[in-house]
Amino acid sequence: MKHFLRWTFILAIVIALVAIGAVACDDDETEEPTTPATGEPTAPATEAPDKESYKIGAVLSITGPASHLGEPEKNTAEMMEDSINAAGGINGHPIEVIIYDTETNAEKCATMVDRLIDQDDVLAIVGPTTSGNSLAIIDRINQAETTLISCAASAGIVNPVTPWVFKTPQTDKEAVAEIYGYMQKQGLANIAIITDTSGFGAGGKDFLLDDADGYGITVVKAQEFTSGDTSMQSQLTVIKGTDAEAVICWATDKESAIVALDMETLKMEIPLYCSHGIANPAFIEQAGSAADGVVFPAGKLLFADKVADDDPQKQVLVDYIADYEAIYGEGTVSTFGGHLYDALSMVVIALESVDEGASTADARAQVRDEIEQITEFPGTGGMFTMSPENHLGMAPGSLGMVMIVDGEWTLAP
């Protein structure tokens, strides 16, 4: 891990050098940044030194319904690739992060995973962005004996544990517990839920229904919508006719923003709670004033300035925010880029121990074994200790409740 900490330390210097170079270049010499065409990998960020590169795959929702989540993941992968290679790579090996766009489509995701494993000979894969895409490739990953570290929330990704699949985000079950615990303290007893039919939404719905009784909460009405729907007013009108004291929406940013806007249009006065799938500036941008008052669980990245200085995550959070926003702009950081940071960091840590000259199969096995032994790793999402029985390994206390006030994230009262 000491090498990885060295790469983290040097990142600020690398960013400064990049910025100086950009200022020094004439406009005519500046090239537009490239984005991966559908099904095409991005080019390596830096020229390779003498040693062969370590190839890492990334399958991300750069386009499609979850693009607002996949874009910060892609940005983070490219940022880390640049910084690690600028620091000399891993034991002299540069890394090459081969990024494919899944278009938020499970079939496309499976095709890209096949390409990464069979043609690109990657040693591990990070992503996918969404739960549905992640669940769709678990069997293929285990058959190919290639490590996957998912950036999606569903508990079903790692429960039951399978040999080659790990994940970094907090699970939907943990997020439901955080919301219900907060609601209980607010004295709420009757609620309604509105959930996406996607893998993420379906998983959240199951836990919302199954766990409500334990908090003295009754779900008086459950409604659904499909990803891509542009109005939820009919479902919300049904909810409005009940005695629900609050609404929980379980989806990512786009559809959750529509729910917030439609509740405002219908003049619904009860509060809106959302999943950790909205921990993205895009939700606030899309919902506008309707975002104010929305409450949701999120990792510490959104309130890093409130995290105690002696918290082992503090420095990682502060550094990641500074590094990301130095490149992509103030206020652009989200927990989704953080999930990729944690996943790729674990792969990097594992690659430090790969034997020189190991075959692709042996290197893949060594990466898997090293990740399963990671202990007390401070990530943006939490503290991670993996084991053969736990392929998330996140310590309790990784989430907090956030309220949007005047378009800004604040700790919920």
Instruction: Classify burial at 28, counting beta carbons within 10 Å of its beta carbon; exposed 0-12, middle 13-18, buried 19 or more.
Output: exposed
Indicate the pTM of the whole model.
0.83
Tokens of 211: 């766990």
List strand residue ranges (DSSP E) for 43-94, in order: 54-60
Cα distance between residue 368 and residue 142, in whole Å: 11
CA atoms within 13 A on the CB side of 62: 22
Domain 2-170+307-384: top CATH class: alpha beta
Where does residue 393 rank: exposed (0-12), middle (13-18), buried (19+ CB within 10 A)?
A: buried
The residue behind tokens 């005047």 is: 406
- The per-residue pLDDT string of the chain (413 residues; one tens digit each, 9 = 90 and over) reads 444 444 444 444 444 444 434 433 444 433 343 334 344 555 455 554 489 999 999 999 999 999 999 999 999 999 999 999 999 999 999 999 999 999 999 999 999 999 999 999 999 999 999 999 999 999 999 999 999 999 999 999 999 999 999 999 999 999 999 999 999 999 999 999 999 998 899 999 999 999 999 999 999 999 999 988 999 999 999 999 999 999 999 999 999 999 999 999 999 999 999 999 999 899 999 999 999 999 999 999 999 999 999 999 999 999 999 999 999 999 999 999 999 999 999 999 999 999 999 999 999 999 999 999 999 999 999 999 999 999 999 988 899 999 999 999 999 99
Query: 3: number of CA atoms within 13 Å, CB side?
Result: 19
User: Where along the chain do the CATH 3.40.50.2300 domains lie?
Assistant: 2-170+307-384, 172-304+399-411
Contact 260, 195 (CB under 8 A): no
CB 270 within 8 A of CB 372: no
CA–CA dist 378, 227 (Å, integer): 33
What angle separates helix 314-328 from helix 2-24, to the nearest 10 degrees? 20
Pick the CATH number of 172-304+399-411 from 3.90.180.10, 3.40.640.10, 3.40.50.2300, 1.10.3720.10: 3.40.50.2300
